[in-house]
Amino acid sequence: MARLRSLPLIVFVALLLRVGFLYDYVTHHVPRALSTIPFLFEPGNIAASLVNGHGFANPFRGETGPTAWMTPIYPLILAAIFKLFGTYTIQAFLAATGLNVLLSTLTCIPIYAAARRMFGTGVAAGAAWLWAIFPNAIILTYESLFEGSLSAFLAATLLWSLLRTADSDSPREWAFHGLLWGGALMANASFVTLLPFLFGWTEYRAHQRPRFSFTRPALAAVLAILCCAPWAIRNYLEFHDFVPLRTVGGLALWLGNNEQASSRTPAGLHPIDNQAERDHYVEVGELEYMREKQSLALDYLFTHPAVVIRMTTERFTGIWTGGSVHPLDDLIKARNPRFHLVVFSNLFAAFGTLAAILILFRKRSPFFLPLAVFPVVFPLVYYFALATPRYRHPIDPVIVLLTAFAISQITPSEKIQTGGPPASRSTS
């Protein structure tokens, strides 16, 4: 039993599984397709633009101009990979997916550290094992060249960092936490929905300490802002308007709320696929295009409440089943074992997450808020826009942690206290 709690063993198994599935994926696809198709989405297109000397621009494979479609870190990573391994090459694909595999594997470490700090080694090992074998975490390393694996790693690291920082008087610890928040926002702007809750909890928790000083959270906040400032300044110079993070919110809302929308796909209306939409995007400019789409989406939301409620319910289901908006029908019709595995594992994690949140609330655990915020707040916007597994993936590390905790609470020999870590764990 002690050996199964070994973090190096868990990390090794996680790496082995990811490398094995990646190898199987590569051997079943044509190298020419792998070298091109996965990069023909916004991050890869922006990366190609950077490498070709056109700057952070052109998210649609053509000359469409400067963009703030997404925050810069992941396109810059892909651009560095293109520089080293060539643009649209099989070597670039292997480097990009290899990086995803590495980040997904390393996510075991902050999951383990955060869970051990809150609930002990048993839950920590359980959470890390669940992450090691979780289908979403394995499949998305090679099926999606977006920032999902990086975001999952950063989310788990943020959770671990806020637990350490809340119990620390060290300015260095608070400075690191602020820099981590800044980096996370530059990698995935969606983390901004968690920022007020998690940062507020960290400050509140720290305020209970006798040596608390407001200068430390202020330092963290300033450093987080400074990390984002160059990007905001660049956007102002390009668009002559204040764009602190990204512009794409209006389009995402419209793609999920229009006469042709469905809860599964954006109905071919995305500018990357639709020539008319792409031409209009170029004609009016990115900011005006996004404002138009937001206005159209809001009008649809208020004038079609019954349709919106139905599609929102289906998207909610899709988010928590791994992509199936009608899971019972899909499970009956599907003949693919992997599909069944994905749906069942996601349903198991969803019910585990719900059970854990209820247990933490009932026991008045101090960790209720920072843990519940991830599954409760982060997906909210996607219920009204689009629902795919990669949108939820940044919070999957916390979901498996909560599931491991729920399992520990229904196993009599493993029940633990939830009021906080004992002194012996305070430095983990």
What element of type H or E holds 315?
helix 305-321
Take residue 395 and report the two structure tokens written for it: 């919070």
| Token couple for 352 | 């585990």
Other C-beta atoms closer than 10 Å to the C-beta of 208 total 10
In the block, tokens 């396109």 appear at 75
**43, 70 Cβ separation under 8 angstroms:** yes
- Nearest one of 338, 335, 309 to 323, comparing CA atoms: 338
Please tell me the distance from the alpha carbon of residue 149 to that of residue 151, in angstroms, as a whole number.
Answer: 5
Q: What share of the chain is helix, strand, coil (3-state, %, to 5)?
A: 75, 0, 25
Residue 88 in any domain: the answer is: yes
Mean pLDDT of the region 288-307: 94
pLDDT for position 265: 61
Q: Please give the residue that has the higher pLDDT: either 330 or 239.
A: 239
* pLDDT tens per residue, range 53-79: 999 999 998 889 999 999 999 999 999
Q: So what's the pLDDT on residue 152?
A: 97
Question: CA 371: distance to chain centroid?
Answer: 15
pLDDT at 273: 87
Residue 428 confidence (pLDDT): 32
Q: CA-CA distance, 121 to 149, in Å (whole number)?
A: 25
DSSP 210: T
Least confident stretch, 106-120, 250-264, 267-281 = 250-264
Query: Residue 177 in 3-state DSSP?
Result: helix
Residue 125 placed within a domain: yes
Is residue 276 pLDDT above 70, yes or no?
A: yes
Q: For residue 406, count other CB atoms closer than 10 A to its CB.
A: 23
Any domain includes 418: no
Q: Quick check: 140 pLDDT over 60?
A: yes
SS3 call for 1: coil
Answer yes or no: is 417 within a domain. Answer: no
pLDDT at residue number 266: 60
What is the per-residue pLDDT for 264?
Answer: 61
Q: Is 395 domain-assigned?
A: yes
247: nearest Cα among 385, 67, 73, 72: 67
Provide the pLDDT for residue 335.
78
Q: What confidence tier does 418 reach under pLDDT thresholds 50, 70, 90?
A: low
Query: What span, in angstroms and rounded, lies between the C-alpha atoms of 352 and 116?
Result: 18
Q: What is the mean pLDDT of residues 12-28?
A: 96
Residue 369, domain member (yes or no): yes
How far apart are alpha carbons 155 and 160 in whole angstroms?
9
* pLDDT of 423 higher than 50: no
Per-residue tokens: 156: 């788990």
User: How open is the CA angle 72-74-80, to the nearest 5 degrees?
Assistant: 100
CA gap 281, 69 in Å, rounded: 12
Higher pLDDT, 209 or 302: 302
What's the number of domains the chain is made of? 1
Most confident of 2-6, 363-367, 383-387: 363-367
User: What's the mean per-residue pLDDT of the chain?
Assistant: 91
Strands (DSSP E) contained in 92-232 are none
Q: Is the pLDDT of residue 268 over 90?
A: no
Res. 92: pLDDT tops 90? yes
Span 203-262, pLDDT tens digits: 888 888 777 788 889 999 999 999 999 999 999 999 999 999 999 999 999 998 988 876
> What does the pLDDT look like over 200-217, one tens digit per residue?
999 888 888 777 788 889
Instruction: Please name which of 179, 181, 26, 3 lies closest in space to residue 101, comparing C-alpha atoms.
Output: 26
DSSP string, 316-377: HHHHHHTS-SSHHHHHHH---HHHHHHHHHHHHHHHHHHHHHHHHHHTT-TTHHHHHHHHHH
Residue 400 within any structural domain of the chain:
yes
Query: In terms of residue numbers, what domain contains 328?
Result: 3-410
DSSP string, 248-294: THHHHHHHTSSTT--SSS-TT-STTT-HHHHHHHHHH-HHHHHHHHH
Task: Say if residue 306 is exposed, middle or buried (CB neighbours under 10 Å; 0-12, 13-18, 19+).
Answer: exposed
Contacts of 29 (CB under 8 A, 6+ apart): none
Interatomic CA distance for residues 161 and 347, integer angstroms: 28
In contact, 130 and 82? CB cutoff 8 Å: no
- What average pLDDT score do residues 33-56 get? 95
> Does some domain include residue 419?
no
**Pairwise pLDDT comparison (29 vs 5), residue with the higher score:** 29
Mean pLDDT confidence for 284-309: 94
Q: What is the pTM of this model?
A: 0.93
Contacts of 69 (CB under 8 A, 6+ apart): 42, 46, 59, 246, 247, 248, 286
What is the percent of the chain where pLDDT is above 90? Answer: 76
First to last CA, the chain: 21
How much is the pLDDT for 261?
A: 75
C-alpha angle 194-199-202 in degrees, rounded to nearest 5: 130
Count CB-CB contacts under 10 A for residue 280: 15
Rounded distance between C-alpha atoms, residue 156 and residue 187, angstroms: 14
